[in-house]
Structure 1
Amino acid sequence: MRIDAHQHFWHFDPEKYSWISDKKIQKDFLPSDIKPLLKNANFEGTILVQADQSEEETQFLLNLAAENDFVKGVIGWVDLNSEEIEASLARFSEKLFKGVRHTVYDEKGEFMTDPAFQSGVSKLANFDLIYEILVFPYQLPGALALAEKFPEQKFVLDHLAKPDFSKAPSEQWKQDIQKLAANKNVFCKISGLLSETGKDWNPSDFSPFLDVVVKSFGMERLMFGSDWPVSLSGGSYEEIVKIVEDYFSIYSEEDLKKVMGITAGDFYKIS
């Protein structure tokens, strides 16, 4: 099974999605837009990920997932700081609801060590839910503290923690990735490559970063995610798939299959 482990849908609203600055993607993106791309790339399914911090969007995504069988799971948003967190998780508790993500564009990494937030994270395991870690490199220490605090909780790091792909990997990023990966409950998505770079990129730009995550996480804890349609800011769907498949072409066919779907299928419990 080939799974794109990270993509988005939205009805574009300039206030709700104020973080979308590229006019190219300031429009609606819905299942009919990605379906032919998945077919051409031989993907059988996707994991749909939140892009707005609202329970309204979470329900919107679950509704789309129920209507489109290629969507194999939804990572939504709930307020993990809320005293009503268990009620929220119970309300969304269904087969397609796989986990929770919190966007951190305007926050410091300390929020992950806040007792109220950690209390919310502690409830996820009761519902067999994943927490997706979306951070910038400087926030990785907070992610590490969170992963160490909950060794039985399943985590996955999105977008390699958004390093600057236009430069060589920093020593600090390497060290923090290695420390995070030392926690076996943490997986990593090879996602966000074209979302985090400019238009003038070369496939070789990403290799030093992929070398680090392969060495740190191993083949058993890596999974491909396109980050479509955000990735359209840097290139086409076909280009992002090719970057990853070409990089892993030096590995075994079985390793490539793991990265392109088997690991995601197991991680998200896709039948």
Structure 2
Amino acid sequence: MIKLNRRQFLGASAAAAASAAIPKRHSLVADEVGLSDPDTPAWIDAHVHVWTPDTSKYPLSPRFGRSDMQPASFTPDELFSHCRPAGVARVVLIQMSFYEYDNTYMIDVMRKHPGVFSGVGIVDHNASDLAERVTSLASQGVRGFRLHSRSGAKGWSNNSGMTTLWRLAAEQGLAICPLINPTDIPYVDELCSQFPDTTVVVDHFARIGVSGTIEQESLDQLCRLSRFPKTHVKTSAFYALGRKQPPYTDLVPMIRRVVDQFGPERLMWASDCPYQVQGDHTYDASIGLIRDEISFLSESDKQWMLRDTAAKVFF
């Protein structure tokens, strides 16, 4: 008789319940990304940026120019050439900084490919019509809002617009997705304490390891966020962390730590394309780390991290 520890038992039970609750993917989704085989796992990539070279129809923010668009484009068709062979059927689009608060291109892509994409938008949290903007974007399929800590997250918890955004997200069932540096984790912790009912998805392990080493103190701080049941972490952007070399197995100890702390049902894999598919980095190397390289992950764990957690939060 095989004995399961508490995490394995709870994870397996939760995975079974979630799989029953998540509807079978519509044939339109399968056709859209070339997954006609019903036995295909149909994974979800929880973090991709898309943009178009058509800056006449979709103008860039004044803070960016064409020279900032590297590569010059990354359209859904370009994405599909990478994700189809890996069995990825759905994708969470993250509003690209080039467009700043104009989410039009992302929403148009979502409309053109119904059922395939969900979206995380960007809003100006200091806007006087913040509530109207959030409600409008949510009505168009946006399921979360990204926060950039360009100048650091200090002061976020005392900003009236920021606290309004976190409150609105809780009320409307939307996610807050902070793109932060390790030094910003305590400020996100403050907001999680103030708004424990808000779903939070921390991008890219809070960039722990971007310096080339995994800072233990920062990892401890990230793991302390697990005490908030609605806080999640993206296991993503492997190309940018640690040794920055495929197959990225130097990141396995950090992944094991967050799996043990959060459980796989609060972790989601993401590629961070197009940045993951440049140089020696490939799409398959990214998904392969979770799918093939980590022996302690059960099949149930992989289903959560490669599909069910993102489905629960964003679809």
Matches within 5 A, 1:166-245: 167-196=212-241, 200=245, 203-233=248-278, 235-245=281-291
Contact 2:290 2:302 in 1 (8 A): no
Contact 1:31 1:68 in 2 (8 A): no
Matches within 5 A, 1:66-85: 66-69=111-114, 71-85=116-130
Contact 2:48 2:271 in 1 (8 A): yes
Q: Which residue of 2 aligns with 1:10?
A: 51
Following TM superposition, by how much is the alpha carbon of 1:69 offset from its aligned partner in structure 2, in angstroms?
3.1
What SS does the corresponding residue of 2:238 show, helix, strand or coil? coil
- Tell me which amino acid in the other structure corresponds to 1:35: F
In structure 1, list runs of 5 or more residues that go unmatched: none
**Residue of 115, 124, 131 corresponding to 2:169:** 124
Following TM superposition, by how much is the alpha carbon of 1:202 offset from its aligned partner in structure 2, in angstroms?
5.1
What SS does the corresponding residue of 1:144 show, helix, strand or coil? helix
**Residue of 142, 150, 163 corresponding to 2:187:** 142
- Give the alignment's TM-score, normalised by structure 2: 0.77
Contact 2:107 2:140 in 1 (8 A): no
What SS does the corresponding residue of 1:75 show, helix, strand or coil? strand
- Tell me which amino acid in the other structure corresponds to 1:33: E
Following TM superposition, by how much is the alpha carbon of 1:128 offset from its aligned partner in structure 2, in angstroms?
2.0
Deviates more, 1:148-157 or 1:64-73: 64-73
**CA 1:197 to 1:248, structure 2 compared with 1: closer, same or farther past 3 Å?**
closer
Following TM superposition, by how much is the alpha carbon of 1:68 offset from its aligned partner in structure 2, in angstroms?
1.6
- Tell me which amino acid in the other structure corresponds to 2:104: Q
Select the structure of larger CA radius of gyration.
Answer: 2
Q: Aligned partners of 1:87 and 1:170: how far apart in 2?
A: 40
Q: Which residue of 2 aligns with 1:250?
A: 296
Deviates more, 1:217-226 or 1:70-79: 70-79
- Tell me which amino acid in the other structure corresponds to 1:124: A
Q: Which residue of 1 aligns with 2:158?
A: 114
**CA 1:77 to 1:121, structure 2 compared with 1: closer, same or farther past 3 Å?**
same
Task: Report the count of equivalent residues.
Answer: 265
Following TM superposition, by how much is the alpha carbon of 1:110 offset from its aligned partner in structure 2, in angstroms?
0.9
Q: Aligned partners of 1:256 and 1:84: how far apart in 2?
A: 41
Identity %: 22
Q: Aligned partners of 1:26 and 1:15: how far apart in 2?
A: 19
**CA 1:16 to 1:69, structure 2 compared with 1: closer, same or farther past 3 Å?**
farther
